[in-house]
């Protein structure tokens, strides 16, 4: 029987997804100022869980309160708010979806705290507009080991609270992605200098996280197919990383690409698959020829027909939805029922990649609050209005963090 979006999937750890549709991670920015899950965040996942999805991947949960990707990120570094984290997990699990926590550290590109020096693999400023104002400090080997332990501690707390597993974020130009990038990583120790050593930190994180959560929980990794910028991680090197992750025993690899200098993950930067529905499908097809690792494809996929085509061909195993889930909490149920999909509105755009990526992030965050409050109608985009509202909202959150 051909695999479709309605088919269940049992991952290597033994956890079964009720269907092949996942809500991909999107940074919600609606946690409390102290990093605890807010009532709004819990309601958001309760509404998403009701929409028929097989797996819910949270947005950034930070492993260190001293390094946030955006204002109002959730933080999990101790058991201080574990009761709220457990409520968050139960909200996502309520209708049979697997609830997976994405754990992350921004490395050299944190938004907050503003007065704290960022850290990274090397003391190299990022090229991203706005992020290059602060020169990062290179992590010492002792600090790298401490960072690995932080990933493991957050993962352990997540499963203690009732999450079905974690996703280690190693894409989009954040810390682990920086270690993989020859452009960001100029180290000459065991964590840099050649492709094998550049992947060492990620593999040590995976090993530590697995030891922390056990073999019966989901261990996923989000990996760039390419950094889509000169001097960054290439597709060839990424394939080698993927094969190493398979050998390390992860349960699910999510394929993405780019960073906020070259935001391919938002569709702003077009890849060689631009004429097709999925941004990163060609990479998935290359990897499938080499590997049997369960693959999740996110980015640009919209129609049930296309999803069933790539699932049936065996190119990937799970389809991740981002923007559709930011607009319609029940998008998976509509796909499964074969309901005709209307054209999805797009976030306002200014025509400049980094600004457009930021606008999309802010617009999605506004829609998350709408979904949490039970309003079914997506916000109407408009460049001037959207830019003004996004600026005001982000500024308010940053000032009250």
Q: What pLDDT sits at residue 189?
A: 97
φ and ψ at 58, to 5 degrees?
Answer: -70, 165
Range 73-92 average pLDDT? 98
Strand-pair category, 16-17 with 9-10: antiparallel
Write the pLDDT tens digit of every residue in 305-352: 999 999 999 999 999 999 899 999 999 999 999 986 667 777 777 776
pLDDT exceeds 90 at position 261:
no
Most confident among 218-222, 304-308, 350-354 (mean pLDDT): 218-222
If DSSP states are collapsed to H, E and C, what string results for the chain? CCCCCCCCEECCCCCEECCCEEECCCCCCCCCCCCCCCHHHHHHHHHHHCCCCCEEECCCEECCCCCECCCCCEECCCCCCHHHHHHHHHHHHCCCCEEEEEEECCCCCCCECCCCCCEECCCCCCCCCCCCCCCCEECCHHHHHHHHHHHHHHHHHHHHCCCCEEEEEECCCCHHHHHHCCCCCCCCCCCCCCHHHHCHHHHHHHHHHHHHHCCCCEEEEEEECCCCCCCCCCHHHHHHHHHHHHHHCCCEEEEECCCCCCCHHHCCCCCCCCCCCCCCHHHHHHHHHHCCCCEEEECCCCCHHHHHHHHHHCCCCEEEECHHHHHCCCHHHHHHHCCCCCCCCCCCCCCCHHHHHHHHHHHHHHHHHHHHCCCCCCCCCCHHHHHHHHHHHHHHHHHCC
State residue 137's pLDDT score. Answer: 97
Rounded distance between C-alpha atoms, residue 123 and residue 324, angstroms: 38
Q: Which residue has the higher pLDDT, 226 or 289?
A: 289
Which CATH number applies to 9-346? 3.20.20.70
pLDDT band at 93 (very low <50, low <70, confident <90, very high): very high
Check residue 29 and give left, alpha or beta (phi > 0: left; psi -120 to 50: alpha). left
The better pLDDT of the pair 60, 278 is held by 60
- Residue-wise pLDDT tens digits, 107-154: 999 999 988 999 999 999 987 766 677 899 999 999 999 999 999 999
User: Is the whole-model pTM more than 0.85?
Assistant: yes
d(CA 16, CA 333): 18
- pLDDT tens-digit readout, 44-82: 999 999 999 999 999 999 999 999 999 999 999 999 999
The average confidence (pLDDT) of the chain is 89
Residue 168 confidence (pLDDT)? 98
Predicted confidence band of residue 272 (pLDDT cuts 50, 70, 90): very low
Report d(CA 337, CA 398) in Å as an integer: 41
């Amino acid at each position: 029987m051909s695999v479709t979006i309605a088919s269940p999937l049992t991952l290597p750890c033994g956890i079964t997804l009720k269907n092949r549709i996942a809500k991909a991670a999107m940074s919600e920015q609606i946690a409390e100022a102290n990093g605890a899950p807010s009532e709004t965040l819990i309601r958001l996942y309760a509404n998403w869980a009701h929409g028929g999805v097989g797996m819910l991947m949270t947005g950034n949960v930070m492993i260190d309160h001293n390094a946030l990707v955006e204002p109002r990120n959730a933080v999990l570094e101790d058991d201080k708010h574990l009761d709220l984290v457990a409520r968050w997990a139960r909200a996502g699990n309520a209708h049979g979806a697997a609830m997976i926590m994405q754990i992350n550290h921004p490395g050299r590109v944190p938004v907050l705290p503003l007065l704290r020096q960022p850290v990274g693999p090397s003391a190299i400023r990022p090229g991203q507009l706005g992020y290059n104002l602060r020169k990062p400090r290179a992590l010492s080997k002792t600090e790298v080991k401490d960072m690995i332990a932080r990933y493991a501690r957050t993962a352990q707390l997540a499963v203690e609270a009732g999450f079905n597993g974690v996703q280690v974020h190693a894409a989009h130009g954040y810390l682990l992605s920086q270690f993989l990038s020859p452009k960001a990583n100029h180290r000459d120790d065991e964590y840099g200098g050649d492709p094998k050593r550049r992947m060492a930190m990620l593999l040590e994180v995976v090993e530590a996280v697995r030891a922390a959560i056990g073999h019966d929980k989901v261990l996923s990794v989000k990996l760039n197919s390419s950094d889509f910028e000169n001097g960054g991680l290439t597709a060839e090197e990424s394939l080698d990383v993927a094969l190493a992750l398979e050998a390390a025993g992860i349960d699910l690899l999510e394929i993405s690409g780019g960073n906020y200098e070259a935001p391919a993950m938002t569709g702003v930067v077009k890849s060689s698959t631009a004429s097709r529905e999925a941004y990163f499908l060609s990479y998935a097809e290359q990897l499938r020829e080499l590997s049997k690792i369960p693959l999740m494809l996110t980015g640009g996929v919209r129609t049930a027909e296309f999803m069933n085509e790539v699932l049936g061909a065996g190119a990937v195993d799970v389809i991740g939805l981002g923007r559709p889930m930011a607009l319609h909490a029940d998008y998976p149920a509509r796909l499964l029922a074969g309901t005709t999909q209307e054209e999805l509105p797009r976030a306002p755009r200014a025509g400049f990649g980094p600004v457009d990526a930021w606008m999309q992030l802010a617009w999605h965050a506004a829609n998350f609050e709408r979904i949490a409050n039970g309003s079914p109608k997506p916000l109407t985009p408009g460049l001037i209005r959207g830019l003004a509202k996004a600026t005001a909202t982000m500024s308010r959150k940053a000032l009250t963090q």
